[in-house]
Structures are given as structure tokens and as C-alpha cells.
Amino acid sequence: MSAGAHDFHQKVITDAGAAVRGLTVALGERLGLYKALAESGPLTAEQLAGKTGTNPRYIEEWLHAQLSAGYVERHPSSLTYTLPADHVEVLADPKAVTFAAGFFTALKALYATEDLLVEAYRTGDGVGWAEHDAALDTGMGSFFQPTYEHKLVPDWLPSLHQVTDKLRGGGTVADVGCGVGHTTLLIAKAFPEATVHGFDYSEEAISIARQLAEEAGLSHRVVFEVASADDYPGTGYDLVCFFNALHDMGDPVAAAQHVHKSLDADGTWMLVESNVSPADIDTNTPAARMFMALSAVMCLPVAVAQRGPHALGNHSGEKAFRAIAEEAGFTRWRRATETPVNAVYEVRP
């Protein structure tokens, strides 16, 4: 075996380990293991099992996996484990902007579609969002939610021309492709005078969104409806939002045209998309690697399943999105702000 082959083999084995480890992270998130370690550590396997209502032998094995990954630390003299302080905000604090553990719960849905993806790759057909387990809605929602909670109201909306003033004065909002409604509810909480609608073509996602609105005490003024991006109801909206959704649509031009028709003449389309482009395919950053992989197994198949004229993938880039907006009749385009993961565009008639 050549040195190059050996190094590449080790890289693939590392990736294989990461793929399997993702399931252990999902278990840690769902069972509250990270949270218990963060709140009560250091703990033995027996103590952690007791605090989480789990089986000690399984927890011992799970802790070994976390230790080998460098996620937890072990204190040999006491056989206890701790979650390092720097890891708490990533694995145990859903309110932290760096929280990432929630994403791994989506693996249940993504891995379960392997047979469908094999067939799609052979035939050119798609794999629709509704063909995935509901864990995809909750997992992907959990992945983006921390960024939305920290950026949407304090940074992204103020970066748009006069939008916050309109919402404070009782403006109207359509959150299209809202998923389980995290962004919809954030806007509603921040602007109590605004009228807020959330639309998504997934009945499962809308059902979860309605439940979350009820739990938040907002169901009386936030309306969630099943509708697609090119036929959602209403006109004269002051703000229409697409959060990481346009690239999943089979006919993004038709969606953009409907936004144009549904907006007030002085309204704003806030288009939030992945902050990657075709030029980033060779980029070795963690965000770029994740987006490229997700596009191949989720974003592109979902778009193809809608049998529209375009299937963008999640790294089409600003040039492609701007061309779609211009084809739909928009005349003003501005990159309002960005994060390492998201680009926020202000699009106006």
C-alpha cells in the first residue's frame, strides 16, 4: 500500500467513524445525556443512567464512544465523566448559537431513505420531503434554530430597509417554507402588532408548528397553513421570508413570481440561503463539506421530486438566486448581511 493510499484509507475510516458517531450524538440528545452531564457532572455511568432513566451498561458503552471521540473527559481515579465547559454550548445548550447536537436527530430520516436514493440516482427521479420520517423536520429545524434565535430579530431583520418599523406598526408577514415554524414564532414574539402567517407544503411540519404555537401562547395570532411556495394565499405582505427553502423547490422561478405578486408594492422579500456557491466545492471548510453532502442526499432529491424546471441544490450561489429574482420581476437586490453559514438577501420589486 502506498503512503497516499494509506493516508486516504485513514481519512475514509475517520469519516466512517464520524458517520456512526452521529447516531451516538442523536442518542445523547434524545435521552438527555449531554444535558445531565452538563448540569450534574462529574458522573459515573451508573449515576448518569440513574439521572436519565437509562440502562447503566448501555450508558457505559455510550460514554466510551464519547470519550474516544473527545466529546467527554474521564477521571480515572473516580471513574467519572464530565462534559468540558467548551462542549456544553455545542452539545447541551439548545439556546446557544453553537448548538449542533439537534442536527443528528435528522440522521434517522436521512439514512432511512438510502434505498429511495439509490433508485433516484439510477432513474433521475426525486425523493420528496414527505417521503422522509418526521425526524427530518425536527432535526433540520433544530440545526438552524439557534442561528435564527440569535440572528433573525437582532441582526437580520434590522439589516433590511424599514422592515422593522413596518412590523412594529402592524405589518403583515408570510414565512414560506416555514417547516415547524421556529422563524415564524420568533417574528411573532418580537413584533406583537404584526400579523404573521406560516406556510409549508408538509402537513407533518404544519401540524408540529401549530402545536408549538399553542405551547407558546401564540396560536391566536399566528396562522399556519399547508400551502406551496407558488400558491400560498394573501397579498399586500410587507415581508415575505424564505429561510433555506428556495433551493429545495422544483420551480424556484414560479415561487419567486408568486412572492412578487403577494408583496406590497413597497414590500421586501427576505431570502436566506446557504452561504456557499459552486466555487466552494473544493473548499475544505466544515460548513462547505456539510452543505455539499446534504445537497447530494436531501436538497437536490427534494427539488427533483417536485418535477419542476430547476433543481438547484443548496450551493447554487448568489448569481443563480439573483437571476431567478430578476426573471420573476424583482429589480432591487442586495446582500444585506451574512454569517459563515447563511447569506441574507434583500429583494424588492
Q: Consecutive 10-residue runs of the chain (349 residues): their mean pLDDT?
A: 91 93 96 97 95 97 97 93 96 93 93 95 93 88 88 97 96 95 96 96 91 94 95 97 93 96 97 86 80 91 88 88 96 95 95
Helix (H) or strand (E) holding 240: strand 237-243
Q: How far apart are CA 116 and CA 112, in angstroms?
A: 9
Nearest to 276 by CA among 313, 316, 335: 316
Instruction: Determine how many CB atoms are found less than 10 A away from the CB of residue 105.
Output: 23
Strand bridging mode 237-243 / 263-274: parallel
Q: Is the dihedral of CA 295, 299, 303, 309 positive or negative?
A: negative
The answer to whether residues 244 and 152 touch, using CB atoms and an 8 Å cutoff, is no
Q: Where are the alpha helices (DSSP H) in 31-162?
A: 33-40, 45-52, 56-69, 85-91, 107-112, 114-123, 135-151
Q: Coil, helix or strand for 174?
A: strand
Q: pTM score, two decimals?
A: 0.85
